[in-house]
Structure 1
């Protein structure tokens, strides 16, 4: 695994929607085809219909568009959505770094995080490594949840011996 350190996130703009829609179609195609659900027009339109730049960040590598992620607040949780990384950047630590930063923010806020991932998707392993567990499944999606993690408190130092018994 090669770790790419030259990445950053920036707030999304409305103008990013088409790049994100194209990336979504590219990234989801193998899993959607495997599930018999791929429709290129529909996969792009669903992204356009749900795209909210106010809760979305663009991931850039070397200054170029490489992915996106959204964290949408809801009544009882934050929903992690539209987390796509270009295939050439998958497996080199960027997704884990982005996810870790978002989850640390949610942990500080005490927020539950929910998501859904396609059944059989390799992305499920990433989410499980970061503390998500499956709640329910249907024929297409696995719905996962992650409760807030509290930072570990340091263990108190053992009492010092004074030489007296």
Structure 2
């Protein structure tokens, strides 16, 4: 996340930490373990009409190993079981945009800094 925010001149460590901690709900936060090591985490929020993938962070040492794709498959499976779409946003200039589009997410709209996506299995 830091490189993406730095690229657009928006990285402020205190702001990022505060934003994350203010919204932290342990029951919605999941560790990504690869070969016994912490490879990242994701936050999946159950909303009344969708699942919101609020964060998906893979440590750089674990990127490009299909770990993110496995997480997306797990989230898609949960969404299918609940018959709900998945929504998320990504920083406009982040490499994550290509990742989400590759996994079937469709842009719904754009904000000043973010692009919003949805995946609907219907």
Partners of 1:49 and 1:85 in 2: how far apart?
21
**Mapping for residues 43-62 of structure 1, pairs under 5 Å:** 43-62=16-35
Question: TM-score w.r.t. structure 2 length?
Answer: 0.93
Gaps of 5+ in 2: none
Question: TM-score w.r.t. structure 1 length?
Answer: 0.70
Determine if the alignment matches structure 1 residue 110 to structure 2 residue 87.
Answer: no
Offset of residue 116 of structure 1: 0.6
Gaps of 5+ in 1: 1-27, 150-165
What is the CA RMSD across the aligned residues, in angstroms? 1.2
Partners of 2:106 and 2:52 in 1: how far apart?
14
Secondary structure of the structure 2 residue equivalent to 1:88: helix
Partners of 1:126 and 1:108 in 2: how far apart?
23
Q: After the TM superposition, which segments of 4 or more aligned residues of structure 1 sit over 6 Å from their partners? A: none
Offset of residue 107 of structure 1: 1.4
Partner of 2:42: 69
Which structure has the larger Rg?
Answer: 1
Match of 1:97 among 66, 70, 73: 70
